[in-house]
Chain A
Amino acid sequence: METLKAKNKETKKTTMKISGAEAIIHCLLEEGVDLIYGYPGGAIMPVYDELYKFQDKLTHILARHEQGATHAAQGYARVTGKVGVAMATSGPGATNLVTGIADAQIDSTPMVCVTGQVFRHLLGSDAFQETDIIGISTPVTKWNYQITKASEIPEIMAKAFYLARSGRPGPVLVDITKNAQLEEFEFSYEKCTGVRSYNPVPKPKEEAIDAAAELINNAKKPFIVFGQGVILGEAEEELKALVEKAGIPAAWTILGLSAMDTDHPLNVGMVGMHGNYGPNILTNECDLLIAIGMRFDDRVTGRLDDYAKQAKVIHFEIDPAEINKNVMSDVAVLGNSKETLKLILPKINENKHESWHNEFKEKYKIEFDQVINDQLNPTKEGLTMGEVLKEINIASENKAVIVSDVGQHQMFACRYAKFNQSKSNITSGGLGTMGFALPAAIGAKMGAMDREVVAIIGDGGYQMTIQELGVIFQHNLPVKIVVLNNEHLGMVRQWQELFFDKRYASTVMTNPDFVKIAEGYHIEAKRVSKRENLKAAIQEMMASKNPYFLEVNVEQEDNVFPMIPSGASVSEIRLK
């Protein structure tokens, strides 16, 4: 413990003798937590007993499965920028958190998970519901720690919150043995303000800023790709200022979506496997690629040895381990994106790059004619996922928080949903966790009660966490749930069609009556299958003040295009 050397500067609080379990509640309150998601069980019961006593200050939402608790905490964290908290018991309770933790790790979501653990004297004895959650969660946590005595609780909890939210955020797991919950000790709390072995935000270097500014000022065809680092760093205004001042076309990664108004004239769309045609093709034609708060995921880059080889690369990034990990940069600008963009702005010359911007417009026209128009204004009989998104945009005036699951509908949502406010696109990007959306929408709604939250989910992913309807019903959360039902695991089916000679192995779904299921939870529910009813159905849903379920039966064998086939270059993007 001495070696942790957490620096605690903000001191106060008189000490009092309380149980470890009560101390955990006080720690949460000290960190400003008023909402947690979880599921009780034997090894965490002392904490739940305290939650009962503190329910006026701290709301606990009972998920219907621990995975749901983590995704709800993630949804909450993603819309608010605050740390989400999930709690579970030992053994299966703890292992059920793992998918959500892994999701939060790869998508840099601040989350603290608290798990109960068997008594210290039973550790290693294969006791009832004992599992080595520290060992299991190590590769997917930013940090984790097992507390075995009550006196450790304040310092470790303070450190957990500090680490989860600082620098590049991520999930932290704190495992607390039952004896530590029951022991009494003198409690006092000090917020953590630093850990000596941890440097959360590298100081920006002036040479790097100058070198980047010079490259930007001399570029003829500069291109910005922005990721979630802009949202996490709250650098939306700075990004917009840079884009407008230098006249640089900018595209988003799936997690960067909503950092910039989707209707901004210099916002040219999405990069990556199912991104827009222009941004992908022109990645290999720009002379300067400016990556801001993104990590060159393989779904963004396609084949690396043919990715932006002609361009100089500037990488604005908070995490030094991301520099030169996948793409070599000519200039790496380390630091918080808000800070580094602020520093570079005064050094940037005004520019327009009109003919370069026109190239994006020309490519968009090709994509519109060959792909987009058929999605948004279809003439075929079956409903398209794209037109559903279009109607949601219209009904919400681009103001909704869109929570998407994983698969075809996710790609349609990210391609066609419109946003004019940041922190509004909540999806599982890195891990691709089916079942993410329904519980994440619960957290998103509770983090933004004044906003519309629309969950867009496929019929496959919906059934992975469908039990969380219970939470929506119990708390009457006005989440709007849209299931785009194509009776298939659509994305896998698409790959089977394109790359496995239409051998549809285990991708055809025989589904239950989703409307009846929603009604079983006393949630208002409708089904729509015909185009002439779609607009009214969506308007009715959006107008509702209550939870609402809408099943849209869409074309069964529709595909998402454009598409960069796995292992292909961004230049080899297919329009059909």
Chain B
Amino acid sequence: MEKETFTVSVYSENNVGLLNRISGIFLKRHVNVESLNVSKSEIDGVSKFTIVIVETQEATRKIAGQIEKQIEVIKAYYHKNDETIYQESALFKIKSSLLFDERQIQNIIKESNSEIVTVSREFFVLSKTGRRNEVDAMHDLLKPYGIMQFVRSGRIAVTKEEMPISALLKEFNQN
């Protein structure tokens, strides 16, 4: 089976130590995590892990099964790219003088649909939200001018299909 990109979405309690427990499942199987994002979810008090891996579908299914087995995990799903709407965020810190000296910089800002977050005498910060390839393309364009700092967030994703997590929680609570 071919390896491809999967987004694993984990709904869980918000407890100390759970990240370690989940990351251990990838470690045990020698699977590299491409990106990881933890945030609150659509349900009050429930956290959501969004984990991107490149694996076979079979391995991903088993990993999701092992994650879901953890006591404080409510549900783990996995999806292919075409089943999700996904984005990443990136910040670029660049020398302010370039804004005035390099006309091309202004074109890059306009064409990339990025935003200037802040400008100071020494530097300005660009924020770009999009898919990995868009962020990478912008990085490649800016690199020749010198990037003082660069950071990219983990993938965040929502699925096209419904995730019936609230119903599931309700069912658990009634048992």
Interface of A with B (CB < 8 Å)?
Answer: 2-5, 7, 134-135, 138-139, 142-146, 163, 194-199, 319-321, 323-325
Q: Mark B32-46, 1 if CB is under 8 A from A, else 0.
A: 000000000000010
Residues on B with beta carbons closer than 8 Å to the beta carbon of A198: 71-72, 172
Note all chain B residues with C-beta closer than 8 A to A7. Answer: 173
Q: Do the beta carbons of A138 and B17 come within 8 Å of each other?
A: yes
Count A-B contacts at CB 8 Å: 59
- Nearest neighbor of B21 in chain A, beta-carbon distance: A138
A3 and B17 contact, CB distance less than 8 A: no
Partner of A4, one of B13, B74, B175: B13
List B contacts of A145 (CB < 8 A): 17
Chain A residues within an 8 Å CB radius of B73: 197
In angstroms, Cα B17 to Cα A4, docked, is 13
Chain A residues with Cβ under 8 A from B13's Cβ? 3-5, 197
Could you jot down 13 A-B contacts, CB within 8 Å? A3-B14, A4-B15, A138-B17, A138-B20, A138-B24, A143-B72, A146-B16, A195-B71, A196-B172, A198-B72, A198-B172, A199-B172, A323-B65
B60 interface hit (Cβ, 8 Å): no
Interface code B72-96, partner A: CB below 8 Å = 1, 0 otherwise? 1110000000000000000000000
Contact between chains at A321 and B69 (CB < 8 Å) = yes
Known: A143-B71, A199-B172. A3 touches B15 (CB 8 A): yes
From 67 to 121 in chain B, residues with beta carbon under 8 angstroms from any chain A beta carbon are 68-69, 71-74
Contacts from B to A (Cβ < 8 Å)? 12-17, 20-21, 24, 27-28, 45, 61-62, 65-66, 68-69, 71-74, 169, 172-173, 175
Is A139 within 8 A of B24, CB to CB?
A: yes
Residues of chain B within 8 A of A5, CB atoms compared: 13
CB distance from A116 to the nearest CB of B (A): 18
What are the nearest 6 A-B pairs in CB distance? Answer: A321-B65, A197-B74, A143-B71, A321-B69, A139-B24, A3-B13
B65 & A320 in contact (Cβ 8 Å cutoff): yes
Q: What residue of chain A has the Cβ atom nearest to residue B66's Cβ? A: A321
- Using A145-B17, A321-B68 as known contacts, list a sample of 18 further A-B pairs with CB atoms less than 8 Å apart, ordered by residue number in A: A5-B13, A7-B173, A134-B17, A138-B17, A139-B27, A143-B71, A143-B72, A146-B16, A146-B17, A194-B172, A196-B172, A197-B12, A197-B13, A197-B73, A198-B71, A198-B72, A320-B68, A321-B69
A339 to B169, CA, bound (A): 24
Q: Which of B17, B62, B65, B172 contacts A197 (CB 8 A)?
A: B172
Output the nearest chain B residue to A323 by Cβ-Cβ distance: B65
**A359 CB, min distance to chain B CBs, angstroms:** 34
